[in-house]
Structures are given as structure tokens and as C-alpha cells.
Chain A
Amino acid sequence: MSMNSNLFEPGKSKPERSFVQLAVKQNQRLDGRRSNESRDVELTFGTDWGSVAVSMGDTKVMAQVICEMGLPSLSRPNEGKLQLNVLLGGVAFLDEAYSTHDQRSLKLNSLLERTFRSSKCIDLESLCVAAEKHVWCIRVNVNVINHDGNLYDASSIATLAALMHFRRPDVSYKDGELRIFKQNGLEFTPLLFHHYPVSVTYCVYKSSGQPILDPTLLEENAADSVIVLSFNSYQELCSLTAGGTAPTNAPIVMQCARNAAARCKSLLDFVRKALALDEERRSQGDRSVNGLVGLILNTEHKLSYNKLMGIQKQQQQQQQQLPPGENMELDNESSETPVANEEPSKKEGAGAPMDTSDWLPHDEDSQELPMRSEAIPSKAGKYKTNKKTRPRKQNNSDSEEEAKQYI
């Protein structure tokens, strides 16, 4: 009794750390997941627009979007504002001590800011009503309800879903007079998006070269380094956070990036589907038992990732080969981002099991041997060379890791 709750975070003690390290080395996890398996994501929409609760296992996060009229900033008089606000504490009982609280909330906030604000995912110019006078200020409040690891993903999914769910009232501006139409919820307009970013978290340990997806609090605290990647549906990188002391090398990060890009895409598909279902429910007028109250015992209102996406998984794998047109476009637009660069080789190997080697060397080539990357445009040839180099490269990366571990 009478201990600060901070001390009770799992994964902070030495035995716990070594346990997790050992488990990861044996490619096992406490909850029986595989290293690239995530917990089920559940979405519950509230009765208000822009209100959503996300749960991933025991991690629970609630987001609420609100809007108000305000003054634009002087530097950008024709743009609306987007503010992101993470609130820890409350029922989550996180960080009663001020120092750690600050650290955690700043980290989360900056991650969300980079993912959603700096990547300019929302068309802020469409939020302008009268330049230099009236713009919409969109505020996202993320309430952490329970923390069991991977707050990053939970809050980014919550933020994305809340922003996509949100509708703002219509306004008219005539002769310097501003009118907001709030009577009828049906005439509200959704926000305009440029792209839809969402983040995926990996933990890397010194004992193993295999990063694990969607860590629990125990795994997150025991991790030597945490990598958070945000991708949008075009598989463009929106933010990358990699810290810690694990010997993370380029192949590991690239492997994470590739898997994360695919996961982000399916997460977005899931959010879209959930939104469509919610829309359907709303149009049916089923509002009596709706809302976040659905979190209690009632599974009907929880929209589960596994359920919604489970049947589609196989189809998706097939579909991945289908839309080459979109990817070609991407390549032209942003061939400088490493992910887009890897796109063609990835598509070719989509049917095969996940293997980084057919695209990773490509990256190394372009960095170290500019001569070869110039010769790449003939795609068939590249695929062959990749296949040839595969075993060698893998050996290389393995030996690198081992060397680093021994150092």
C-alpha cells in the first residue's frame, strides 16, 4: 500500500526486462501473438459527430473533435487551424508525478502533431470563411482512458477516425455578417482531406533482430528502442520516430517501414468501413442505444478490425497486385521517398511471403552504388538481380547485427 502508482508500471524492473528479452529472442510473446501480429482494434462511434473510442486490447483511447470560429494566424490568414490535444491522467491514472507526465504527453502530442499537422493531411484552406477574419478552428481532444502499451497507434487511429467522422456546421458570410446553421445535423459538411495518415509502432530489442508489432505496456517499457512510423494510404511516409539504444540498422527500419505501410493501408480501410457502417446505422435512425454507451457489454456497436477485415485479408493480398496504375503515378510524384522507391519491387513480390531482401538491397544500391541504380529501369532485369543478391545480402545484414551485438 501507499506507493506511487508510477512504480507499478510493468516492464520497468530488471527481471521483467530480461524475461521480455528472452521471450523475444525465442520469438515468443506473453499474449501468444506472433511478432508481426497486432491486437484487435475496436472502434466505437459516439452520438456526436467526431466522437470515437478506440480500444486495442486493454489500451483505450477516446477522441472528440470540436470546432469553433476563430481568428486565423497572421502568417496564414486564409487557413483554418488544427489543434491536437492529448490528455493523460484522469481514469488512466498515468503519471501522477509531474516530470514523467510531461515527458509522455509531450511525446504523444508531438507525434500526433507531426502525423496530422505537419503532414498537412487536412485541407486547411477549405476551413477559411473570410480571410483574415473568420476561420474554423478544429480541435481534437484525445483522452487516454487506459494505457496498456502502444498509445501512439491507438491515439493516431482515434484522431484519424474522429477527424473523418467529424462534420462541421455550414456557415454563410454576407456583408460582414456571419451565420452558423446549427439546426439540422444532416446538412453538416465533413472535413476535406489530402491524405489519411496513421501510425504503426514497433519495438526492437537487443536480444533479437526481429522487431515486434503493437507492443503491450510490458513490452514497450522493456524495449530497447521504439520505432513509430506513420504512413498514409498512398504509402508515403508521414513521420518517423526512432529512439532508444537497440542496434537498429537500416534493414530493420526498412523492414518495419514496409510492413507498416501495408498495415496503415489496411487500418485506413478498416476505419473507412467502420465509418460506412456507422453512417448506415445513423441513416436507419438507430440512435436510441447508440453512442459510447455501446462500450458497455454491448458488442454490437464495437466495430472490430479483425471482424471487418478478416474475411478480406486474402482478397487484399490478391488485390495488392492489381492497382499498378496508382503506384506508377506515385512513383512519378514522389520517387524521392524511400518507400515509393521500393514500390515496384514490392508489388512484384506481393504473392511471396514477406521478405525484405528483394527490396532492401535495392535501397542500399541506390545509396552506395549509384551506378547500378541507374541500370534499374528495366524491371525484369532488376527482379532477377534482386533474386540473385538475396541470400548474400541477408547474410550481410545478419552478420552486421551479430557484430553489433557483440560490440
Chain B
Amino acid sequence: MDVEKETLRQMNCEFNPLSRCDGSVMYSQGATGLIGAVLGPIEVKTQNLSIDGSYLECNYRPKAGLPQVIDRIREAAIRDVLELALLSEAHPRSKMSVQIQELEDRGSIDACAVNCACLAMLIGGLPLKYSFAAVHAIINEQGEYVLDPDQSETQHQRASFTFAFDSVEGNLLLVKTKGSFKIAQFNDIECLCRAASAEIFQFYRSQVAKYHGRSEATAKNET
């Protein structure tokens, strides 16, 4: 197993930069940055009303112009993960609105968008069954694995993978692959990404603890 790079890019986030929503976050991973905002539970249109659980609205906005097909696909991926994680039974007959705004796309935008959505949900206080983290990795031309690649590294790739994991049992929530690869390589990369996801969960924990003004140690003991 050849690993070119097995560390995530520097993660950064700022909580509640926006004033009009229940929770918002500016999240960046390397040079890729997004803003996520959540509002909920709020009034729902009758056509979307469900008595079993809340309706989830998820929108992804590209940096410029109206969403294209690729943005819709990304949006659908985020919604799928969110629908799994959201404890929708907690608020029937209501709507949860999640909006993601792309700021800068410099690689791994799919994974960053999922992470951004999770942080926004956490800080907005919407009920979740578990938090989740997504990791992106590629196999480059030389057949080496590159975790969380920058845009410059993705130009000549054989295959790209995006995995999302939950925080409680470590189950796979999302698998997205492109390109050609062997199943052994898939398994290798899944292990690599799973290990990296732990780092992201740690980041969530420390950032949220910091935001709420508690030391990380006490936060850890309680979780």
C-alpha cells in the first residue's frame, strides 16, 4: 500500500458568523471553504408536511450563478447523509432548512460540504442521531493513495473516493467513487479514510467545546 499523503489539510472553522439563522459555520479545509447555515424547526409548507417527522430542506449554492447538475448531485449527497443522521421524529410537522454556500473550491469540496453541514447542525442545535464526517481520497497516476488532495493534485487521478462515517458506530453513510480501481484498493482507502475521520470528529469536539467555553478535557469526559 503506497501512501503519498495521509494527513488531512488544515481545518479551520468559525461559528455563527451570520446573524439571521439558528446556527451557521464557516468551515475550511486547506484552501477549500464553505459557509453552512441551518434554520429549524420552522413552519413547513403543506405539500411537504409530514406527521412522522420533520421535512429536511437542503440547498447547495455554487460560488457563481445558478446550481448546475454537479451542484445538484453534491446537494443530493449531503441531503442523503443528513437524512440518515437527522433525528426527524423529534419535530414532526416542521421543517429543517440547511443551506450550504460554496466560498472557494480547491479540491475535496464534496467531503468539505458534508463536514460543513454537520458542524452547522451541531452548532444550530438540531437533533442528530450521531455526527458524521466525510473524507475524500484519490489514487493518483502512480497508483499512490492521496488523502484529502488539493486541486492541483487531482488533475491526473485514476480514481476518487468520498466516504462518510458516523461517529457512534463508525458505519459508512456515503460512498462515492469515480474511476477504475481494484477492490483491495477500495478497502485500503476505506481504512485510510476511516482513520482520518477520527481526526475530524476530534476537530468537531474541540471546536464546539471551545465555542461553548469549556475545556476539551471536560467535554471528552462527558461524551
Contacts and interface: CB of A to CB of B under 8 A. Distances in A.
A90 B101 contact: yes
A92 B94 CA distance: 20
A46 B106 CA distance: 11
Nearest to B103: A292
Nearest to B13: A296
A82 interface: no
A91 B36 CA distance: 7
B99 interface: yes
Nearest to A292: B103
B35 interface: yes
A145 interface: yes
A398 B26 CA distance: 49
A296 B101 contact: no
Chain B binding site: helix, strand, loop or mixed by DSSP? strand
A62 B20 contact: no
B41 interface: yes
A33 B114 CA distance: 40
Given A3-B43, A87-B61, A93-B20, A292 B104 contact: yes
Given A3-B42, A293-B104, A60 B18 contact: yes
Interface in B33-78: 33, 35-37, 39, 41-43, 59, 61, 63-66
A91 B18 contact: yes
A225 interface: no
B103 to A, nearest CB: 4
Contacts, number: 116
B99 A93 contact: yes
B41 A91 contact: no
A279 B200 CA distance: 35
Contacts of B42: 1-5
A148 B20 CA distance: 8
B14 interface: yes
A295 interface: yes
A51 interface: yes
Interface stretch (A152-160, A170-178, A283-291, A327-335): A283-291
Contacts of A89: 59, 99
B211 to A, nearest CB: 12
A146 B18 contact: yes
A296 B20 contact: no
A295 B19 contact: no
B154 interface: no
A311 interface: no
B173 to A, nearest CB: 23
Interface string B180-213: 0000000000000000000000000000000000
A139 interface: yes
B43 A46 contact: no
A407 interface: no
B94 A93 contact: no
Interface in B84-101: 93-94, 97, 99-101
Interface size class of A (residues with CB under 8 A): 35 or more
Contact of A1 (B18, B27, B37, B41): B41
A91 B65 contact: no
Greatest chain A CB density within 10 A among B12, B13, B104 is at B104
B64 A141 contact: yes
Contacts of A85: 65
A91 B101 contact: yes
B26 A93 contact: no
B97 A93 contact: yes
Contacts of A93: 20-21, 37, 39, 97, 99
A190 B18 CA distance: 33
Contacts of B93: 2
B28 interface: yes
B63 A90 contact: no
B31 A91 contact: no
A143 B106 contact: no
Contact of A293 (B19, B28, B61): B28
Contact of B35 (A3, A5, A145): A145
A66 B20 contact: no
Interface in A131-159: 139, 141, 143, 145-148
A352 interface: no
A60 B26 CA distance: 13
B32 interface: yes
Contact of B103 (A65, A66, A87, A293): A293
A51 B21 CA distance: 25
A1 B27 CA distance: 27
A90 B99 contact: yes
B24 interface: yes
Contacts of B32: 293
A2 B94 contact: yes
Interface string A239-258: 00000000000000000000
Contacts of B37: 91, 93
Interface string B1-25: 0000000000011100111110010
Given A3-B42, A93-B99, A295-B33, 11 more contacts: A4-B43, A47-B31, A62-B103, A139-B64, A143-B63, A148-B19, A288-B31, A289-B31, A292-B33, A293-B12, A296-B26
5 contacts: A1-B41, A87-B61, A90-B59, A291-B31, A295-B33
Interface of A: 1-5, 46-47, 51, 53, 58, 60, 62, 64-66, 85, 87, 89-94, 139, 141, 143, 145-148, 288-293, 295-298
What 4 pairs between A and B have smallest CB-CB spacing? A64-B64, A293-B33, A91-B37, A292-B103
